[in-house]
Structure 1
Amino acid sequence: MIYYKQASSQKELEQILSLQQKNLAKSLATEELENEGFLTVEHSMEILQAMNDECGHIIALEDGKVIGYALCMHPKFADSIEVLKPMFAEINKAVAGKTNYMVMGQICVSKSHRGKGIFRNLYLTMKNKLPEGFDTIITEVDGKNKRSLTAHATVGFETLKIYTSGGKEWHLIILE
């Protein structure tokens, strides 16, 4: 049975990083990148822990093993990961003055568990676990990651804007 909760142990955070390593763009063959989607950002344990301490990451567990996750990234971490700085700058332009949002810092479902509703349930759990006063989730997706763009649209995300940074087209999307 699969259940969803906020990460609460070092072991769970280690499993998040393990799943992340298997799904980074640099770890996948070209065909996998196109068909399965990919991750862009590689987190350190230090930043993953700090983010979790602020707002617990959402994880899907089966038999005690993390099979999916959605990272919660409070806006106070805007300067913590270099590759995400442009995203936060674009968020600030797109939602000027709005502070009641959480950034979904990355979402991933194990290849063996895709297509089973886990993606949708990670977001549903995240919405239900947002800190008091927060009512919006914002994230961005690489324009080449068609699987992720489709999955996000399916759960209700809408495009805030499309912009270019680091030679890539990014889709900044929002779920209210």
Structure 2
Amino acid sequence: MITYTQASTSEELHQILELQQQNLPRNLTQKEQESDGFVTVEHTFAVLQEMNDECGHIIAKSDGKVVAYALCMHPKFAESIEILKPMFHEINKVVKGNLNYMVMGQICVAKSYRGKGVFRQLYTTMKAKLPLGMDTIITEVAVKNIRSLNAHLAVGFTELKRYSEDNLTKWVLIELK
């Protein structure tokens, strides 16, 4: 049985980092990246903990082990992770002062749990656990991460804009209301 909750222990945060490591591009073949997707950001424990202290990350657990996660990233962390700074700059252009959003900082489902509705339930749980006053989830997906982009659109995300931060990496900024 899979349960969905917010991360509350150091062990859960370490398990998030383990799952993240397994799904970074450097640890996947090109074929795996194309068919299964990948994660882009590599978090430190300290930043992951600080983000979790502000708003608990959403996790799926099976037999006591984290098998999926969706990271909650309050806008106050806009300058905390270098690779995400351009995303926040683009969000600010689109939302124009409307600050009632939470950024989903990264989502990942363990390979053996994919295709079982876990992805959708992570977002359902995240929506239910948003801090008071926040009603929108915003994230970005690399255009080349087709599996992830399609999964996000399938659960109700809509496109806000496309942009390129360095003329190499193309991103799709999306929101879920």
TM-score, structure 1 normalization: 0.99
Q: Deviations over 1:77-115 (max 9, x none)?
A: 000000000000000001101100000000000001000
Residue matched to 2:161 = 161
Residue matched to 1:80 = 80
Q: Deviations over 1:38-63 (max 9, x none)?
A: 00000000000000000000000000
State whether structure 2 residue 42 is matched by structure 1 residue 42: yes
Q: CA shift at 1:146, angstroms? A: 0.2
CA distance, structure 2, for counterparts of residue 115 and residue 81 of structure 1: 30
The amino acid that maps onto 1:68 is: A
Q: CA shift at 1:22, angstroms? A: 0.1
Alignment of 1:1-176 (within 5 A): 1-166=1-166, 167-176=168-177
| Structure 1 unaligned spans of 5+ | none
The amino acid that maps onto 1:157 is: F
The amino acid that maps onto 1:22 is: Q
CA distance, structure 1, for counterparts of residue 81 and residue 22 of structure 2: 20
Corresponding residue SS for 2:72: strand
Q: CA shift at 1:134, angstroms? A: 0.3
CA distance, structure 2, for counterparts of residue 18 and residue 87 of structure 1: 25
TM-score, structure 2 normalization: 0.99
The amino acid that maps onto 1:136 is: T
CA distance, structure 2, for counterparts of residue 134 and residue 56 of structure 1: 14
**Aligned-residue RMSD, C-alpha:** 0.4
Q: Deviations over 1:138-171 (max 9, x none)?
A: 0000000000000000000000000001320000
CA distance, structure 2, for counterparts of residue 127 and residue 31 of structure 1: 32
CA distance, structure 2, for counterparts of residue 31 and residue 92 of structure 1: 35
Q: CA shift at 1:26, angstroms? A: 1.3
CA distance, structure 2, for counterparts of residue 173 and residue 99 of structure 1: 15
CA distance, structure 1, for counterparts of residue 26 and residue 136 of structure 2: 31
The number of aligned residues is 176
